[in-house]
Structures are given as structure tokens and as C-alpha cells.
Amino acid sequence: MKELIRNEALRIGFSHCGFAVNDSLEELRVFYSDFIRRKGHAGLKYLETYFEKRLHPELVLENTKSVIAVLMNYYPPQIIPEKDNFIISKYAYGADYHHVMRVRLNELVNFMKFSFGDLQAKAFVDSGAVLEKAWAQKCGVGWQGKNTLIINKSTGSFVFIGIILTDLEIEPDVPETSRCGTCNICVTACPAGALDTPYQLNIRRCIAYLNIESREEPPAELKGKLADRIYGCDICQDVCPYNRFALPHLVSEFLPSESLMQMRKTDWLVLTEADFNRIFAGSAIKRAGYHRLKRSIARFYEEDPHEYESN
């Protein structure tokens, strides 16, 4: 059963697939409770909802016996030139990963139902009351590195995570353990100091949080450290030794358009809402919206970012 599911996951386009027994994540209760208590989630409300469900998948899908974790590589075959350019995270080069992953996860669930008969299964992509990274590590497909991202020893960290809860009883894989060792490259490389406590992210200092989620101006001491990044960051991934041998993905939906590849700073500065909607149709950036992107750009030119606050 396990190998049939794994082989189908790889055929569909996932790069890794692992399995764990649902024995809960009760060991994370103290850390997660403290994280919420000290407001480490920086006002991201979704991180504090459904607390018990996040620790106990059987509260999300009744009678959950097993957890399946899949990874999908998104390391691009071609990097958008960064010289004379604003920088966006590689995960946002192409189509919105939520949709791309969800289609493939549903295909895998349908395969399981066809192969093994009547069963319960529910898939998640960066959504719902599921702690994806904790389960990915339990399923053996990677470990949560000092940059707080899932790292696979052969693929690196440029991966999306998908989780399936099911009432099938599946033989578990061996959980992964941290292989970061004494390496602190990501910690020291972060210009904003968001990783000063290894394995924990100071969300309020994270560049990706500041240019995607936050509606506040960056702290004064960070304004010169955003490194031309207007959507996401990637610095802690770009320097990770496990990404030195990252292989380009084979997912056509994640490829950037020719228009995006040709964009340079002057193009971003004069970007109209109509062009934004055309270039970023179906992307994660489109979900963020034109005005939020223009607000990020305005910060580099001492314009008034609040001009774009209404949307």
C-alpha cells in the first residue's frame, strides 16, 4: 500500500512522499502555547485558531490513522535577473502553488480511493488546522532547519508541502532529524536578524512578512535592509548549503512568464494595474494585489506607501 501511494505521488509530480502514524503533536503544546502567548505570530490570526485541532488531526478528520506528507520542488530552471531589478521570491514566479498542489493532491486521494476502496482522506496545502512542517518531519521527508523551513537532504528547501490525513493504516517511515549541525549560515545571512534564535522565526523582523503580510511600516532600523525585495525574500534559502545542488523543477505551471523575466526596476516603477493583472494572472502575487505590491516598491523611493493602503 505504502509503495503504491508513494509511486503514484512521484508519477503525479511530487518529489518526495512519506508516511507517519497519527500519534498527535502533543509534544509541541508547550512551545506552541508560549508562541501564541508572547504574540510570536505577529497578529497573523490564522496561527492561533483551532489550537487543539493543530495538535490532534483526528479532530480535523475523524478516525485519522495515518498522515501522508508530500513535497513538490519549485526551484526554478532560470533565475529572474536581480541586477537593476526588484526581487520576488522564487515561489511566486509562476502559478499560485495552492491551486497547483491541490489539483495533484486530489488526484492522489482519488487514486487511493480507487485502489483501496472506501476510505476517508482530506488534503491540505498551507491551509486548515494542520502543522505541515511538523508532520513533514515526522513523515521523514525533511527536517525543520534553523531557517524554520523544511529541508530535504537531496532536494533542499525550495519545496511546497502537502498533507493528507486518512483513516488508512499505513506503515510509517522513519522520522527525519535535523542535519543543520553547527552551520549558522542562514542565521548570519538574514539582514533583518529574523533568525537570531535558530529554529525560530522572529516574524516581525522577517522580510517576507514585512513586504507581504504586514500593513505597518518596517521598523526604522530595518528600512535599509530589505535588499530590493518587494515580495518575499529567499535569502535564508539561497545561502543554505543543502540548496547548492538543488535541481530545477519540472512543473510547467511554476515557470515565470516571458513578461516577468524581462521586468526591471523601471518597469516595476511604471507598472499599471492593467499590466499587473495581465502579468500576474493566477499567481500568488495576484492574490496579494496591485496596491500592496506598489506599497512595497514605494518604500524604496521614499514615496508615501500609505497611498496604496486602501486596497
Per-residue pLDDT of the chain in tens (311 residues, 90 and over written 9): 999 999 999 999 999 999 999 998 999 999 888 888 887 777 767 677 788 999 999 999 999 999 999 999 999 999 999 999 999 999 999 999 999 999 999 999 999 999 999 999 999 999 888 999 999 999 999 999 999 999 999 999 999 999 999 999 999 999 999 999 999 999 999 999 999 988 999 999 999 999 988 888 888 888 788 889 999 999 999 999 999 989 999 999 999 999 999 999 999 999 999 999 999 999 999 988 999 999 889 877 655 545 545 44
Cell numbers 498527535 label which residue? 24
The conformation of residue 218, written as its DSSP 8-state character, comes to: P
Distance CA(275)–CA(218), nearest Å, equals 27
Helix (H) or strand (E) holding 186, with range, is helix 185-189
Task: Tell me whether residue 126 is one of the annotated catalytic residues.
Answer: yes
Assess contact for 243 and 75: CB atoms under 8 A. yes
Cell numbers that stand for 189 in this block: 545571512
State the pTM of this model: 0.92
What pLDDT shows up at residue 310? 46
Catalytic residue among 126, 238, 267, 275: 126
Distance from C-alpha of 311 to C-alpha of 302, rounded to nearest angstrom: 20
Q: Please, how many CA atoms are within 13 Å of residue 173, restricted to the half-sphere of its CB?
A: 23
Q: Within 13 Å, how many C-alpha atoms sit on residue 287's CB side? A: 12
Q: How many residues does the chain have?
A: 311
At residue 307, the pLDDT reads 52
Hey, which residues does 2 pair with through a beta bridge? Answer: none
Q: How far apart are CA 160 and CA 101, in angstroms?
A: 8
pLDDT at 71: 98
CB 81 within 8 A of CB 234: no
Alpha-carbon torsion angle 181, 186, 188, 189, nearest 10: 160
What pLDDT shows up at residue 35?
83
Q: 2-12 and 97-116 are packed helices; what angle lies between their axes, rounded to 10 degrees?
A: 140
Return the pLDDT at 301.
66
Q: How far apart are CA 249 and CA 165, in angstroms?
A: 26
pLDDT at position 302: 54
Q: Rounded distance, CA 47 to CA 117, Å? A: 35
Angle ∠(295,91,207) on CA atoms, nearest 5: 45
| Amino acid 36: pLDDT | 84
- Say what the pLDDT of residue 39 is: 77
